[in-house]
Amino acid sequence: MKNLFATGLLLFLVFASGSCSKMNDLHEKYLQGEVVYAARVDSVSVAPGNNRVQLDIRILAQRIDKVNISWENNEKSKELSIGNQIGVFSITLDDVTEGEYLFNIVSYDRFNNKSLPYEFTVITYGDIFQSTLLNRRIESIGFESGMAKIFWRAPMEGVKESLFRYTTNNDGTGEIIIPASEYETLIPDFKSGGEYSFTTFYLPQSNAIDAFESAETTGFFPAYEFKPDKSLFRNAKLPNDEDPDYGWVMENLWDNNTGTGFHTAENTGIPFPKSITFDMGIEINMLRFKYWQRQGFEFRRGQVKKFEIWGSAEYDQTGDWDKWNLLATFESVKPSGLPFGEQTDADYAWAAAGEEFTFPPNLPSVRWIRIRVLSTWEEPVSDYFNMMEIEIVGDDRL
């Protein structure tokens, strides 16, 4: 009986010992002392940039002394002091190369307890993104009230603005910021035929802290052209100018009709040169001059061959040539080059379209014009000339 009791007691002690061991295992971690965590940040706003990023960290718990920001598998990190304050705390990290990263923010309280990590994703941009950007396109360039007018195509997504640089009419440099919302741009001080260049700036995201610039586009403004209103033209005959004949008065030169013209008197016995003078009604810089010959008499019978254009900004009534500026000397050209009296269809077409002449650059501006005819196409040489219509192109931006 004693042996049976002893055996039972031994089994009870073994069982009891095992049960107590398992119970202690369950409570061991609590017996070691409680783990205290610092408060986590509440939220993070990310603003990407050019190989950098700005973080706006929102903290509502007044128990955070500092935070540690880490990325690239904790190989890079940055510490930001909070000082147990609440609010939004901003930091810019300048060494975040272009790419996508998983960031962690761990908070620490004043006892150096740390929080569970706050995880978020960051995307930064750089040279790869910039290489994909296209410059905004110009649809066309025209003129309005003496100003260049640029018509823009619709911008690509993400465009913030364009920077337009150009040569001014005094050979300086002008700059204009073109917002993405602008489709027409007026430039008052551009140089006729002058160079321009522009680039376009993009934001990869609406809240990005850096804009990225596209490659540069260059070009040239078209030559500015202004046609004076012919209704303002007036006969300004001087004492040594020619009188009209056959009822072909000077006003016919600007009536927009190549079937009527001006004709000087014949058989006067006075040799060339012979001149006429008129007022354009506006002061301009001369660019081009065009005149039409009489149909049926092309390159013969009093049609002007060689002539000069003189001008002045002021009207001198004496007719003294010394008080006028010689702007250019021109000579009519027959396309075929055939001798006098022989014409081709190309010659007739050339004359019918009007023959145009270009002035040299940097001439003084003028309002009054004198046409001084030196010779005509007629052989033998006659003592008269006629023109059917004239057209003037200039620059009124003085």
Same domain, 242 and 389: yes
Residue 260 is which amino acid?
T
CATH number (domain holding residue 347): 2.60.120.260
Same domain, 308 and 364: yes
Q: Which of 241, 343, 231, 326 is nearest to 280 (CA)?
A: 231
Residue where one domain finishes, among candidates 168, 195, 220? 220
The answer to the question of residue 35 being in a domain is no
User: pTM here?
Assistant: 0.70
Same domain, 325 and 243: yes
Same domain, 246 and 339: yes
Same domain, 162 and 247: no
Cα–Cα distance measured from residue 275 to residue 307, given in angstroms and rounded to the nearest whole number: 9
Predicted confidence pLDDT, tens digits, the chain (398 residues): 444 444 443 444 344 444 444 444 444 444 455 789 999 999 999 999 999 999 999 999 999 999 999 999 999 999 999 999 999 999 999 989 999 999 999 999 999 999 999 999 999 999 999 999 999 999 999 999 889 999 999 999 999 999 999 999 999 999 999 999 999 999 999 998 999 999 999 999 999 999 999 999 999 999 889 999 999 999 999 999 999 999 999 999 999 999 999 999 998 889 999 999 999 999 999 999 999 999 999 999 999 999 999 999 999 999 999 999 999 999 999 999 999 999 999 999 999 999 999 999 889 999 999 999 999 999 888 899 999 999 999 999 87
The answer to the question of residue 32 being in a domain is no
Give the pair of three-digit tokens for residue 342.
Answer: 């022989």
Same domain, 120 and 134: no
Residue where one domain finishes, among candidates 77, 108, 124? 124
Q: What is the pLDDT of residue 33?
A: 53
Q: What is the pLDDT of residue 398?
A: 79
The total number of structural domains that make up the chain: 3
The answer to the question of residue 225 being in a domain is no
Structural domain range at position 286 = 230-395
Q: What is the pLDDT of residue 28?
A: 46
Could you give the C-alpha distances from 213 to 160, 195, 209, 243, in angstroms and in order?
A: 10, 20, 13, 65
Q: What is the pLDDT of residue 341?
A: 92
CATH number (domain holding residue 197): 2.60.40.10
Same domain, 261 and 237: yes
Same domain, 93 and 107: yes
The answer to the question of residue 338 being in a domain is yes
**12, containing H or E segment:** helix 2-31
Mean pLDDT of the chain: 92
Residue where one domain finishes, among candidates 196, 220, 244? 220
